[in-house]
Structure formats: structure tokens, C-alpha cells
Amino acid sequence: MSQKTTSTKQTVTLSDGSGKTIALPVLPGTAGPSVIDIRKLYGESGYFTYDPGFTSTASCESKITYIDGDEGVLLYRGYPIDQLAERSSFLETSYLLLFGQLPSRTQMEEFRESVTRHTMVNEQLNFFYRGFRRDAHPMAILVGVVGAMSAFYHDSTDINDPHQRLVASIRLIAKMPTITAWAYKYSVGQPFMYPRNDLGYCENFLHMMFAVPTEEYRASPVLASALEKIFILHADHEQNASTSTVRVAGSSGANPFACIAAGIACLWGPAHGGANEAVLSMLAEIGSVDRIPEYIKRAKDKSDPFRLMGFGHRVYKNFDPRATVLRATAREVLAELNIKKEPILELAVELEKIALQDDYFVKRKLYPNVDFYSGIILRAMGFPTSMFTVLFALARTVGWIAQWGEMMEDPERKIGRPRQLYTGAAHRDYTPIEKRG
Ligand code: SDX
């Protein structure tokens, strides 16, 4: 393969040795790797590319989130994640992800008001919860109830109407705290708490999660602020598995509620958003610092399916900047809750230290990711482990819907339909059963 840069355009030329060559344009981005545009490759060469897991494949063009995995950089619409986590709010960051710019004061108030006015759900949805066992995993309930929203909000399912796309986006952002809090309430047999218009987004969620009708509840401002940070850090992350799922689902023209339900289902996996829950189970299993070497050994043993949950990342080959913020937030929350000693945090810090000194992890650039510390904070805040991925889904809904909206506005939108390398049986004719061995 050779590269050529003319005055304006760079191309790469492919040759398979048969004398036939094909010149493919190289498209540069604002930052990060340029891409080789292979859209005409199959038509002109008869070859597919092969990239299971899409390790070297850009599936789309996007202006929303940029990650530099080597430098540990994460930008939402150009703004560094640590600045947003420290200085923004989840709703303001949601506005930024959706519309591309930080809002003016008026825009922020209008957006806040619009979200606040959509936090209630159709009362019929309430009955969906009763169809589940009380011990159903809240992610199972979330997939079901969010998918069922398609059956209620028909006035925001026309994907070709920009206004309906906006209404659906606001509805999803606004109703996820209600739907997720009710999944928790259902699991503990407590009455559902309705959203309140006098509370902020995170305060309202904490209220619906932990208030009971029998007494006043005021969320701790420090915990509400910690939740703002956690939601901001989880809001978007370019073309991760669940976002790619939402985009492929949306590429078929499926309605936004169905697409988000598909994203929730994908996020549930322990290799993805389910890792925060898996980290806590792993730390509980390790139990004490003296058992860390045994588990590090297992994580390195290819014959052992055990992996160090909360470690490693497809893109970050340096510290996940979100893990850095969350490690500091963990200490703040524990101090606020007057938890002097949290063995599980000490264990996590020791595990991180030992792993980052081990050549296996260093060589493979396996660092703590966003899921390594988030569960420790959520557990300290009183969330059950089974709700950790649910909170990840709550926060990521704005990223999914922003990416879905970007795709829906793309005039070049096509249905996502990859090809394959077929290595199965060649053509053969049917043999009647009486003639088979
Ligand atoms: C999220 O994509 C995103 O942006 C996701 C996310 C988001 O915000 O949307 O950031 C959220 O999903 C974070 C990741 C949470 N998952 C975990 O913490 C689960 C543990 N991590 C691994 O399963 C793994 O690191 C992945 C899935 C995260 C990444 O897998 P890759 O990129 O496909 O890497 P790989 O499996 O090819 O691993 C490369 C090598 C392998 O060893 P070798 O074959 O080279 O000898 O590293 C090893 C792996 O065995 N490895 C690990 C490991 N992660 C990778 N070994 C032990 N423990 C681990 N955690």
C-alpha cells in the first residue's frame, strides 16, 4: 500500500499483486487518526475489509465526542471532561451534547423547564412493573419499560420529523430518572415516588430513589453534586458498543424508544456497562489485600476466564480520565458520609497499585476504566449493586440520543449492514434422510 498527497487530497493505493490497483481517498478529522474511505473498495476491487470488533474501523463521522486513548483525553463537543465534571451540570452537559454549544442562560432555563415538564410517565406504564418478579434485575425492567414507551408516545415516533425527534429526546432524558427509580422501588416493595418540579435533575432522582411517602426527604447537596459528576462522566463516549447498537438500530428507521432499549440491552454486558456491577462482585470475592496476588495471577492466566473487571479499554491505553475524576470523587463522598474506613475502596486502591506494577498489565496498557471506581461511590451512596448499570444507562441516554439524532440528520445515512468472511460449507445438494448415514 502506498500513500500519496497531492496539493489538496491524500490517497492510499492498494494493489493485490495482480497489476490492478485502487486509489482510496484519505479523509482527515479535526483531531485523531485520518480515515481511509473504503466505500468504493468492494465495488471496484471485489474485496471486503475484515475487522471483527471494529478495532481499526470508523463506523461514522461524528462531531460529538473525541477520545485520545494514548493521551487519556475525552472531549464533549471540544470541552475536556474534567472541566465539565468540575464546573458544569448534567443538564447543561446534556444540552451541549445534544445541540453542540454550551447554552445561554435563557436556553438553559428553557431546556431545564422542558425536561422538568416531561419527568412524569404515562400512568399506564406503572402497570408494566407489576408484570415482573420483585427480584427481576432492574436492567431487565429497564429494557422492557423503555421499549414499551414506543407504545405510549406515538406523537414522537416519526423519525423524519425533527420536532418529534426533539420531543422524543427530551422525553427520554426526562423520564429515565423516573423509570429507573421506580425499578428500584419495585424491587424493594416500596411505593413509587413521583417526580417533583421543584427539584433539580439529580436531586429529583435521589428523591424518587430514597424518599418514602411517610416523611420528608432532602438529598444531601454533596451527594447530588457527586451524582451530577458521575452522570456527566458517563454521558457519552463516541462509538462504544451500546452507542453503535443504537446507531445500527436507528439506521433501520426504528423509533427512538426502541433504539434506546437496544442500547440498554447492549450496555448490560459485563464487558461494557455491566462492568461496574462486576467490579463490586470481584472486589467482594477477592475480599482482602492478601488475596490480590492470587487474582492477579488468575487475570493473567489465559485458561482462566477471570478478568480484572474495571481494567482495560479498547481505546484508552492510558488512564481513563473518568477513572481519575471518580477516584477523587470516591474519597469526597466517603468523607461526606463520614465513612472513615471503607475496606472495599482500600482494596481497590491496592489492587490498582499492584496491577499497575505488573508487567502483564503495563505491557498491555491495561489501566482502570470508568467502571473501576464508580461502583464504590454508588455503593457508599446507598445504591444496590444491581442498580449500578441502570445509573450508567440513565446517564448514557443523552449520549445515545445525541448520536442517534446526529445520524438521523446525516443526509448520507444508510442502513448498517456489514458483510462477512464466509468459511462455511461450499454449495451442496440436499440429501433425503433415508440416504444419510
Ligand atoms: C466500558 O468502549 C467504550 O468506550 C466503553 C465505555 C463507555 O464509556 O462506553 O468506556 C464503558 O465498557 C468500559 C470497559 C468496562 N469493561 C471492563 O472493565 C471489563 C474488563 N475489561 C476487558 O473485558 C477489556 O479490557 C475490554 C472489553 C474493556 C476491552 O477489550 P479489547 O479492547 O477487545 O481488548 P482485548 O480483550 O483484545 O485485550 C487485549 C489483551 C488481551 O490479552 P492478550 O490476548 O494480548 O494476551 O489484554 C487482555 C486480554 O486478555 N485484557 C485483560 C483485561 N482486559 C484486556 N486481561 C485481564 N483483565 C482485563 N480486564
* Rounded average pLDDT over 13-32: 94
* Distance in Å, CA 144 to ligand 1 centroid: 28
pLDDT confidence of residue 384: 95
Q: How far is residue 385's CA from residue 399's CA, in Å, rounded to a whole number?
A: 23
For the Cβ of 371 lying below 6 angstroms from any atom of ligand 1, the answer is: yes
Distance 360 CA to ligand 1 centre (A): 13
Give the other-Cβ count within 10 Å of 41's Cβ.
16
Question: How many residues would you count in the chain?
Answer: 437
Rounded Cα distance, 425 and 221, in Å = 63
Per-residue pLDDT reduced to its tens digit, 242-293: 999 999 999 999 999 999 999 999 999 999 999 999 999 999 999 999 999 9
Task: Take atom 32 of ligand 1 and give the residue whose Cα is closest.
Answer: 314
pLDDT tens profile 208-231: 999 999 999 999 998 999 999 999
More confident: 319 or 249? 249
User: Average pLDDT of the chain?
Assistant: 95
Active-site choice (137, 234, 320, 371): 371
The C-alpha atoms of residue 331 and residue 340 are separated, in whole angstroms, by 10
- Active site annotation includes 313: yes
Which long-range contacts does 215-224 make (Cβ < 8 Å, 24+ apart)?
Answer: 220/336, 222/332, 222/333, 222/336, 223/333, 223/336, 223/337, 223/381, 224/200
| Nearest Cα to Cα of residue 78 among 69, 87, 67 | 67
Query: pTM of the predicted model, to two decimals?
Result: 0.94
Residue 395 Cα, ligand 1 centroid: separation in angstroms? 21
Question: Which ligand 1 atom lies nearest to the CA of residue 320?
Answer: 10
- Please report which confidence band the pLDDT of residue 341 belongs to, taking 50, 70 and 90 as the band edges: confident
Catalytic residue among 207, 234, 313, 320: 313
Rg of the chain, C-alpha, whole Å: 24
Contacts of range 75-79, beta carbons closer than 8 Å, 24 or more positions apart: 76/235, 76/236, 77/101
* Cα–Cα distance measured from residue 71 to residue 154, given in angstroms and rounded to the nearest whole number: 44
Q: What is the DSSP letter of 368?
A: B
Grid cell for residue 316: 484508552
Integer angstrom CA distances of residue 305 from 297, 298, 367, 373: 12, 8, 19, 22
Residue that the C-alpha cell 418478579 belongs to: 133
Contact present, 404 and 250 (Cβ < 8 Å): yes
- Distance CA(391)–CA(383), nearest Å, equals 9
- How far apart, in whole angstroms, are the C-alpha atoms of residue 121 and residue 215? 24
Alpha helices by DSSP H, listed for 48-129, are 81-87, 90-99, 105-116, 126-129
